[in-house]
Structure 1
Amino acid sequence: MTIQYKLGTGRVDGASTPLVLVDGRIYPLVELLGAEGPPDLEEVFARWDALGPDIAERVAKLDGPGLDPSTIAFQAPLSNPRKVICIGTNYHDHLEEMNVTHVPEFPYAFLRPQTSLAAHGEEIRLPEGADLIDWEAELGIVIGRRFGPGDKGDPLDAVAGYTVLNDISARDWIANRPWVGIDWVMQKGWDKFQPTGPWITPARFVDDPQDLDIELTVNGVVKQKSNTGKMIFSVADIIRHLAAIMTLEPGDIIATGTPAGVGFGRQPQEFIKSGDRVSVTVEGLGTLENRFV
């Protein structure tokens, strides 16, 4: 029987350390792969075709209590992906609440800088000059092999794993959009605006990415509650579309869009305030929580 595991990154004794979660216990990945193993998850996913099956075989041999979770400061699982790609307007109910009347003909995408990544448990500083800071619970994809123009295989075969995301948005630049359209950098590109993790769950342990419950709470109050089956474009659709434009590479992160319940679409509108705790849970993948200051 294959034992399920998850991968993450945290600071242990002051050093950034790849981690593996097995049966509720956390171990340094070096205990599994030895000193010759990859120094970070970027390298793990660069060699995913070989390392994925190898890790799956070795996790059964892990023994002992593992690390004390209180001593781990989580980091974004992947801090230096080549690309961070986000999909917008990908749930019908979210289109309605945002007053978008035209259903997109293809996945609507934008790029985000790596500096937007943040870790589970990390405090997110609210930026100066933006007042309408919003939440967006999302399923994240991590790519495990090159897949680009001309590739005709199953897009899901390119997926190494799935993770939990909060696609934070400054809605000021929707409310006050200039005549040229929404400024997506001003809305999405702020530092720490994409908390991710804490874990990446290998795709082999996710039976159907289009049947995962997704929920977001603010200070314990449910704001979003949906299922990935309500996406307009599936995970496979998204990868197929993006790969026709650019080569997706190991470690690339793709955010798949958010369901209804964002603050901008509520009546009256609600936005993140200093001191708020926002938690995102995706079924089987874990919970991501951040406090805003």
Structure 2
Amino acid sequence: MHYQLGTALVEEKEKVILYFNDKYINLNRLVARVKPALKINSLFEMTQEWPYWTDQITNILSLTSTFNSEELLSESDINWQAPILYPNKLICIGANYTDHIEEMGKEKAIVKPYSFLKPPSTTLKGHRKEVSLPKASNMIDWEAELAVVIGKRAKNVKKEDALTYVAGYTLFNDLSDREAIVNSDGLGIDWVVHKAHDGFAPMGPLVTPAQFIPDPQNLKIKLKVNNEIKQDSHTSKMIFTVAEIIEHLSSIMTLEPGDIIGTGTPAGAGFGRNEFLKSGDKVVIEIEKLGALTTHIQ
């Protein structure tokens, strides 16, 4: 029983969207009909009790095979938001594909995951949303990434157990201002300038529960700009696996339910091509089994 979950505004109110059997369903309304004692507020809140909610969704889908017109949504009309709104942490891993390191002109061997933070409340954007280019830079770059959503508190987790802490996986575009690299001085790159502009974290539209992705290192990943393929790779090419990333990060900080981790991007980013995003561009990321994420550059 395969399904995916997202977040959208329906009649200007935040609702959880269930994608099941090629149908987009307002999960709040479905739950109200089938199990009225339950109450859903947000997908973020569901991650706080993830095993409970995945069991409940499976049970609800086993109780009904039909959906009424008030529950069904047309995908073209859905006002997608980032699936997890306002997580406590949005952590990104840099330089996690060997070919990407080479195209960035770096030669140093990576011995542990290289990480940084983005402010989630101002960077996260939903599917089909517009991202405005910063006025101060002409070097805005794309980065297709697999993102991990944490499903239970994780501290000092070993890699052998790490995937049991994952709620699910989604698509992520780690937009980057490469002028921060060009203009870096003896103090190094200003990572706030590089990564933290408003809207620099498009994500979604759907989270695929981890139970349906047995191996996150076995997924094709692709990015197109205006229908031209720029990145075409595979998550097996990561230097550090999802499990190793969770082990590393949980040795530093407590990972909390709803936290998001971007796992790095493969070769084909614009900086290595001396190509950058411009107003009017359409960026589409596709990850096998997860779907597609579209961003419009303004």
TM bin, normalised by shorter chain, reads over 0.9
Deviations 1:220-243 (A, max 9, x none): 000000000000000000000000
Residue 192 of structure 2: aligned partner:
185
Paired residues for 1:24-35 under 5 Å? 24-34=22-32, 35=36
Deviations 1:156-180 (A, max 9, x none): 0000000000100000011111210
Residue 6 of structure 2: aligned partner:
8
The one-letter amino acid paired with 2:278 is K
Q: Supply the distance in 2 between the matched residues of 1:68 and 1:76 (Cα, whole angstroms).
A: 18
Paired residues for 1:82-97 under 5 Å? 82-97=88-103
Paired residues for 1:103-182 under 5 Å? 103-114=109-120, 115-149=122-156, 154-182=161-189
Which ranges in structure 2 are unaligned for 5 or more consecutive residues? none
Identity of aligned residues (%): 46
The one-letter amino acid paired with 1:9 is T
Q: Supply the distance in 1 between the matched residues of 2:101 and 2:56 (Cα, whole angstroms).
A: 42
Judge conservation of contact 1:112–1:189 (CA < 8 Å) in 2. yes
The one-letter amino acid paired with 2:265 is T
Q: Supply the distance in 1 between the matched residues of 2:235 and 2:130 (Cα, whole angstroms).
A: 27
Judge conservation of contact 1:32–1:62 (CA < 8 Å) in 2. no
Residue 241 of structure 2: aligned partner:
234
Q: Supply the distance in 2 between the matched residues of 1:292 and 1:184 (Cα, whole angstroms).
A: 21
SS at match of 1:161: strand
Aligned residues: 289
Judge conservation of contact 1:49–1:145 (CA < 8 Å) in 2. no
CA drift of 1:52 comes to: 1.4
TM-score using structure 2 length: 0.94
SS at match of 1:279: strand
Deviations 1:197-239 (A, max 9, x none): 0000000001210010000000000000000000000000000
Residue 273 of structure 1: aligned partner:
278
Superposition CA RMSD, Å: 1.3
Q: Supply the distance in 2 between the matched residues of 1:83 and 1:62 (Cα, whole angstroms).
A: 37
Judge conservation of contact 1:120–1:289 (CA < 8 Å) in 2. yes
Q: Supply the distance in 1 between the matched residues of 2:229 and 2:2 (Cα, whole angstroms).
A: 29
Judge conservation of contact 1:32–1:55 (CA < 8 Å) in 2. no
The one-letter amino acid paired with 1:45 is T
The one-letter amino acid paired with 1:286 is G
Q: Supply the distance in 1 between the matched residues of 2:268 and 2:234 (Cα, whole angstroms).
A: 13
Q: Supply the distance in 2 between the matched residues of 1:23 and 1:213 (Cα, whole angstroms).
A: 22
SS at match of 2:184: coil
